[in-house]
Amino acid sequence: MRVWAKSLLVIGFALCGLTAQAQTSDLVSKTAFRVCADPANAPMSDRDENGFENRLAELFAAQLELPVQYEWYPMSTGFIRNTLRANKCDVVIGYAQGHEMVLNTNHYFTSAYTLVTKRDGAIADVDTLSDARLQGLHLGVVAGSPPATHLARNGLIADARAYNLVVDRRHESPIPDMLQDLMADEIDGALIWGPISGPLVKADFPELQVTPLLKETLPPRLFFRITMGVRQGEKVWQRQLNSLIRRNQNEINAILTDAGVPLINDMGTGLLDVSQ
């Protein structure tokens, strides 16, 4: 009797597991590649679908033979709650690895914070924040971002100019403002996340150059692996996206490189060789 009861219990747990898996899997649309995205987050995504994340969405949708369908919401507080968790979409194209709010796919690129300077400027060849030539200069930095800690450690924060971290890009654009200030000599350099600085400089600021900061050895780290984010528990969907990432990595790299995103190796020690 006890063996029979135990068997029923095991079967019951198995059925519960299958039911839970079916429920999470059923949330993923079978008729569209539903993307959660910011409508004003160029160069990554925008409502006109000109961002590199829009191009990545098109690539994945084509592989799945589905149309792209967007749920637009500002990338600010409540983004995941009001999009992915509300079942209005099924994937966030760009999300930092290890974030507990989503289930991460395998990472599909790694990039780093960068120092943006004028090509012919006095600090054009600076590639570390401990360089003595930065002393006394005015560097732009997003408040609360990882480079700010490095500025403080190297005695550069007092002369830095801070730009807002969390904004609604429909009304405020701190990174383009920072680059405009650099062009106007109001600051001497700008510390910006590479997937933002690279494409913006390539498209609109040819007089500037982007140098990935790969020599900083103390925390916080300045390089991050970027994944796609799906709802917690959706392991089948996660595995499907992982397979697409693996099989289309060359095409992904080509889209990112064409956009101007600085790609680095997984350990953050050097530029990625995309010629292979």
DSSP per-residue letters across 23-89: HHHHTS-SS-EEEEE-TEETTTEETTS-SHHHHHHHHHHHHHT--EEEEE--SSTTHHHHTTTTTS-
Give me the phi and psi of 107, to 5 degrees please. -70, 145
Spatial distance between the Cα atoms of 256 and 109, rounded to a whole number of angstroms: 9
List, for residues 140-157, the tens digit of each pLDDT value. 999 999 999 999 999 999
pTM value?
A: 0.89
List, for residues 53-84, the tens digit of each pLDDT value. 999 999 999 999 999 999 999 988 899 999 99
Longest C-alpha distance within the chain, in Å? 84
Distances (CA, A) of 235 to 105, 205, 219, 274: 9, 42, 32, 29
* Closest of 43, 117, 93, 64 to residue 240, by C-alpha: 64
Mean pLDDT, consecutive 10-residue stretches, the chain (276 aa), reads 38 40 70 97 96 98 98 92 97 89 97 98 97 98 96 98 78 89 98 98 97 96 97 96 98 98 96 84
